[in-house]
Amino acid sequence: MARLALGPANRRPAVRTAAGLPVLVVGDPIEWTAVVGIPLAASPGEAEVQVGTAGEAHRIAYAIAPKRYAEQRLTVAPKTVDLSAADQARYERERDHQAGVMATFSDPVPAELAMAVPVPGRRSSSFGLRRVFNGQARNPHSGMDIAAATGTPVRAPVPGTVIDTGDYFFNGGTVWLDHGGGLLSMYCHLSRIDAKVGDRLATGDAFCAVGATGRVTGPHLHWGVMLNRTMVDPALFIEA
Ligand SMILES: [Zn+2]
C-alpha cells in the first residue's frame, strides 16, 4: 500500500491506477492523499497513478520496493488442491461472481482508515506468505488469519454495508463489506452468517461467526482488506 500526497485542491481529486481503476482519496481541501493498493504480484520498480481527468491529467510516480515473503507448507483435503471438473467449474463461477463484488466503488469515502480487530485471537499466519498446499505451490496468502473457536462473533472493524454473502469453494462461508471509495473487507471460513446484503453495520456490530468452512486446516477467521481491487495487508489498518 502506498500513500501519495496530492496537495491542496478545492475538490477531491479523481485518481486512477495505471490500469484505470479508481483509487481511494482521503483528506480535505488543505491536503488530499491517494491510498493505493499494490498487488503482491507487482514487479519492483517505478509505478504511477493518474490524477485528474483526461486532457488535464498528470502522473504521480512512486517506487515499489522488493519484498520476500516466507513460505508456508500446509496439508489439506486432496480434493481442495486437485479439483474435480465439477469443483473447477464451481470455483470459476464463484470467481467471476466475486470479481463483480470486488469492482464495488461507492460514496462516501471512509471517514477514517483505522480499523478494530474483528475477532480477538492469535494471528496465526500473515499476509504475503507463499503457500504450498500438499506440496503444490498456490496463490500467496492475501489476508490475515486470526485463530478463534468456531462460533466466535465477528465484529465490523469500521462502518460498512454488506454487499455479498455466500458459501464458496475455497473461502467457505463468506461476507463482503463495502466501506466506500473502493475500500472493501472480506470474512471467510464462517460457520454462521447473521447479515444479508444491504445491511448497514456500525463499528463493533457482530454480523457472522468464526468457523472452519472451505479450504482450511482448522477454525479461524480469514480477514481480507481490499483497495482498488487489490488485497492489501489488514495489519496496515489496525488501530495502534
Ligand atoms: Zn487465510
pLDDT tens string 187-239: 999 999 999 999 999 999 999 999 999 988 899 999 999 999 999 999 999 97
d(CA 220, ligand 1 centre) in Å: 8
pLDDT in tens, 108-161: 999 889 999 999 988 866 899 988 989 988 889 999 999 999 999 999 999 999
The pLDDT value given to residue 148? 95
d(CA 192, ligand 1 centre) in Å: 17
Name the fold adopted by 71-237: Glucose Permease (Domain IIA) (2.70.70)
The pLDDT value given to residue 209? 98
| Strand pairing class (15-17; 45-51) | antiparallel
Mean pLDDT along residues 32-45: 94
* Residue ranges of the chain assigned to CATH 2.70.70.10: 71-237
Per-residue burial over 200-234, b = 16 or more CB atoms within 10 Å of its CB, e = otherwise:
ebeeebebbbbbbbbbbeebbbbbbbbbbbbbbbb
pLDDT at 48 over 70: yes
The CATH number for 2-64, chosen from 3.40.50.300, 3.30.70.20, 2.60.40.1590, 3.40.50.720, is 2.60.40.1590
d(CA 21, ligand 1 centre) in Å: 25
d(CA 133, ligand 1 centre) in Å: 13
d(CA 232, ligand 1 centre) in Å: 13
Band (pLDDT 50/70/90 cuts) for residue 10 is very high
d(CA 214, ligand 1 centre) in Å: 11
Mean pLDDT along residues 43-71: 90
d(CA 88, ligand 1 centre) in Å: 20
